[in-house]
């Protein structure tokens, strides 16, 4: 029981430190970097929690981080695609209005 409590405390302190580092370090990053890193951090946190319940927080955090990185990058590409489509539609409408 004591080992489980120590592991939980170490995990909680590590996650808090990681969140503080990620939150303060994103100001000079591109949106792609921010979204990918945020996805990785959220995935690691979720994976660590599930892994701690299952008995291996480290493995859960690693798997969650990998999935989160991929998810964060995919979300970034989706948002960029959406913004590009909006800009194309806006430009087409503006050009059509200018011709009239």
Task: Report pLDDT for 2.
Answer: 66
CA–CA dist 72, 93 (Å, integer) = 32
CA–CA dist 46, 62 (Å, integer) = 10
CB neighbour burial string for 51-77, b if at least 16 within 10 angstroms, e if fewer: bbeeeebeebbbbbbebbbebbbeebe
Task: Report residue 14 as tokens.
Answer: 């590590």
Task: Report residue 90 as tokens.
Answer: 């806006």
Please report, in tens digits, the pLDDT of each residue of the chain (100 residues total): 566 666 666 666 676 666 666 566 667 899 999 999 999 999 999 999 999 999 999 999 999 999 999 999 999 999 999 999 998 888 888 787 767 6
């Amino acid at each position: 029981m004591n080992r489980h409590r120590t592991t939980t405390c170490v995990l909680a302190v590590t996650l808090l430190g990681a969140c503080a580092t990620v939150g303060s370090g994103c100001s000079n990053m591109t949106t792609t970097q921010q979204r990918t890193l945020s996805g990785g951090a959220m995935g690691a946190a979720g994976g660590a929690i599930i892994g701690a319940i299952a008995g291996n927080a480290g493995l859960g955090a690693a798997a969650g981080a990998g999935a989160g990185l991929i998810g964060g990058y995919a979300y970034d590409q989706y948002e960029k695609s959406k913004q590009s489509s909006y800009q194309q539609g806006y430009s087409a409408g503006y050009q059509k209005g200018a011709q009239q």
